[in-house]
């Protein structure tokens, strides 16, 4: 089987940059547990989809062999800078580009020095793969792709990994409820924006623990109850790449300046 593990990781950099703050540190502790589970699965490659890498015209795939440098998040810059250290599985990324294009999904490679890889990818890779020893296939979030289209992309990436005989870990980078506080808060008292969002988040996480069918059934209610991160397309990536999962472990759940964030390990 090509897919050996799968995770939902928050893309917000606050738990990564400021884990000393109790609400964010609890999320970071869950990310540490996910990192241990990922290492135990011994993947050859990470299949990463981040809601924060925005594309418009084509589906973009990262093919720069080694991306390094300093990244300043456009929203959370006051909390620290991010060190970028990401390696790409160029052969697999190019295979995904060819397969996606053949399936009618216009795709292009991105190979530029100092390309601004998004915060979400940097954070997830930093938690799970801090020494960049595992190369990654990184796919962009095209704003014109819906949930089903993103599910298709995940399936293509997994199929190409299988064809190359590679053990792959699926990483969906994104949040839950996406309502942020628009005023300064005491970060030590950070909480989910409102009770409705918290209830919706918890219901969706509970559905994940019951398996992929329960998750798919719960998503419409979730999207009606609160504003989800990018329509929760990152979960489509998980469903497509894994072909479904039997349950999940929620390693952590909490607020990131009002928005919902969780670290989840999916059981295959």
Structure confidence by residue, pLDDT tens digits, 200-223: 999 999 999 999 999 999 999 999
pLDDT, residue 216, reads 97
pLDDT, residue 142, reads 97
CATH number of 3-267: 3.40.830.10
Confidence class of residue 152 from pLDDT cuts 50, 70 and 90? very high
On whether the CB atoms of residues 241 and 169 are closer than 8 A, the answer is no
Locate 232 and state its tokens: 């929760």
Q: Show the 3-state SS of the chain.
A: CCEEEEEEECCCCHHHHCCCCHHHHHHHHHHHHHHHHHHHHCCCEEEEEEEEEEECCCEEEECCCEEEEEECCCCCHHHCCEEEEEEECHHHHHHHHHHHHHCCCCEEEECCCCCCCCHHHHHHHHHHCCCCCCCEEEEEEECCCCHHHHHHHHHHHHHHHHHCCCCEEEEEECCCECCCCCCCCCHHHCCCCCHHHHHHHHHHHHHHHHCHHHHHHHHHHHHHHCCEHHHHHHHHHHHHHHCCCCEEEEEEEEEECCEEEEEEEEEC
CA dist., res. 139 & res. 62, Å (int)? 7
Q: What is the pLDDT of residues 5-23, one digit of tens each?
A: 999 999 999 999 999 999 9
Across 239-259, average pLDDT: 98
CA dist., res. 161 & res. 133, Å (int)? 17
Confidence class of residue 84 from pLDDT cuts 50, 70 and 90? very high
pLDDT, residue 1, reads 56
Quote the pTM value: 0.97
pLDDT, residue 166, reads 98
Across 171-198, average pLDDT: 97
**Greatest alpha-carbon span in the chain:** 51
Across 169-194, average pLDDT: 97
State yes or no: pLDDT of 186 exceeds 60.
yes
CA dist., res. 28 & res. 41, Å (int)? 20
State yes or no: pLDDT of 165 exceeds 60.
yes
* Residue % of the chain over a pLDDT of 90: 98
What value, to the nearest 5°, has the Cα angle with vertex 233 and ends 63 and 253?
A: 105
Q: What is the pLDDT of residues 108-132, one digit of tens each?
A: 999 999 899 999 999 999 999 999 9
Terminal alpha carbon distance of the chain: 10
State yes or no: pLDDT of 101 exceeds 60.
yes
State yes or no: pLDDT of 246 exceeds 70.
yes
Across 192-197, average pLDDT: 98
pLDDT, mean over the chain: 97
User: For 20, how many CA atoms within 13 A lie in the half-sphere containing its CB?
Assistant: 2
State yes or no: pLDDT of 139 exceeds 60.
yes
Confidence class of residue 149 from pLDDT cuts 50, 70 and 90? very high
């Amino acid at each position: 089987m090509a897919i050996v593990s799968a995770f939902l990781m928050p893309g917000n950099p606050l738990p990564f940059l400021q884990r000393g703050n109790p609400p964010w540190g609890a999320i970071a502790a869950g990310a540490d547990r996910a990192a241990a589970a990922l290492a135990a699965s011994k993947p050859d490659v990470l299949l990463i989809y981040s809601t924060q890498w925005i594309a418009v015209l084509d589906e973009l795939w990262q093919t720069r062999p080694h991306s390094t440098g300093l990244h300043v998040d456009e929203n959370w810059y006051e909390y620290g800078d991010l060190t970028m250290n990401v390696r790409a599985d160029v052969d697999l990324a190019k295979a995904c580009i060819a397969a996606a294009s053949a399936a009618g999904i216009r795709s292009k490679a991105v190979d530029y020095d100092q390309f601004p890889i998004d915060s979400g990818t940097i954070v997830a890779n930093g938690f799970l793969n801090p020494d960049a020893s595992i190369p990654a296939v990184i796919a962009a979030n095209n704003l014109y792709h819906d949930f089903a289209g993103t599910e298709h992309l995940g399936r293509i990436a997994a199929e190409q990994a299988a064809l190359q005989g590679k053990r792959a870990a699926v990483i969906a980078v994104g949040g839950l409820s996406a309502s942020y506080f628009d005023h300064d808060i005491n970060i030590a008292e950070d909480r989910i924006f409102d009770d409705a969002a918290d209830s919706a988040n918890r219901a969706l996480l509970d559905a994940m623990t019951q398996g992929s069918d329960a998750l798919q059934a719960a998503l419409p209610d979730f999207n009606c109850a609160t504003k989800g991160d990018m329509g929760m397309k990152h979960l489509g990536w998980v469903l497509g790449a894994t072909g479904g999962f039997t349950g999940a472990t929620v390693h952590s759940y909490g607020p990131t300046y009002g928005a919902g964030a969780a670290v989840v390990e999916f059981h295959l």
